[in-house]
Amino acid sequence: MQAIRLHARGGPEAFASEEAPQPRPGEAEVLVRVHAAAMTPTELVGVPTWTTPTGEPRRFPIILGHEFSGEVAAVGDGVTDVAVGNPVYGLNDWFGDGARVEYDVARAAEVAPKPRSVDALVVFQNLYFHWEVCHGDSTIEEEMSMVLVPVTYPYGHSAQIIKGGHTETSKQRYRCQQTHCPHRSFVLEPASHGRLPHVKAQIIEMALNGSGIRDTARVVKISPATVMNEWQKKRRR
């Protein structure tokens, strides 16, 4: 399998992209086929990177990057929480090898199944890590680390979500790429609480039950103008 490893203590220049033996899961362990892994520059100066839990130097080669997502490729004895083929994500032991590999071993307790109700969105989260590695005739000039961030589409279900710029207040905006999405562009935390889908639904529900504008505004914790605006939208539909 392919792996990015360190054979000596150093910085980005010490990384080598090379073939490595594929590990096998032991008891209570799982083998994960890695889809995405994250690494931060602080790992290069972290104590667990270079020493064992007892303080002795770790043996080389060393693999970094301990946050990962992927698919279970094999399970060891005693593993019952996940099965082969399950999509998972996790965080493995910082004193052991990381996940900047094709296949990573982790304890079963260190991984969790991806919730069916959550769309996992692979985004670049300011984890760009620039480095150069000479390996034969090839040079890796930039390695961009990725992290899986669960993003729930607030207006239904969609698995095709991408980043879509920022709002005027610098909030991250997301975009649904599927044509059936009722709202193609959205933010997870809008500036106005009254713009949230579940809040709008609560406004209409209270109106149908006979609640007035001020009562609704007080319960939902929004302005009376927002309640009235939502009522007017409902009448026009």
Q: List the pLDDT tens digit at each of the 237 positions of the chain.
A: 999 999 999 888 899 999 999 999 999 999 999 988 887 777 888 888 999 988 899 999 999 988 888 899 999 999 998 999 998 888 888 889 999 999 999 999 888 887 655 544 443 333 233 223 333 333 333 333 344 455 666 666 555 667 777 877 777 787 776 677 777 777 776 666 666 777 888 888 888 888 888 888 888 888 888 888 887 777 766
Element at 128 (helix H, strand E): strand 128-135
By three-state DSSP, how is residue 234 classified?
Answer: helix
Q: Are the C-beta atoms of 223 and 231 separated by less than 8 Å?
A: no
pTM score over 0.75 = no
Find the largest Cα–Cα distance for the chain. Answer: 75
Element at 206 (helix H, strand E): helix 197-208
Within the chain, all domains assigned CATH 3.90.180.10 are found at 2-150
Parallel, antiparallel or unpaired: strands 67-75 and 87-91? antiparallel
In the beta sheet, which residues pair with residue 19? 2
Question: What single letter denotes the amino acid at residue 152?
Answer: T
Question: What single letter denotes the amino acid at residue 70?
Answer: G
Q: Return the CATH superfamily for domain 2-150.
A: Medium-chain alcohol dehydrogenases, catalytic domain (3.90.180.10)
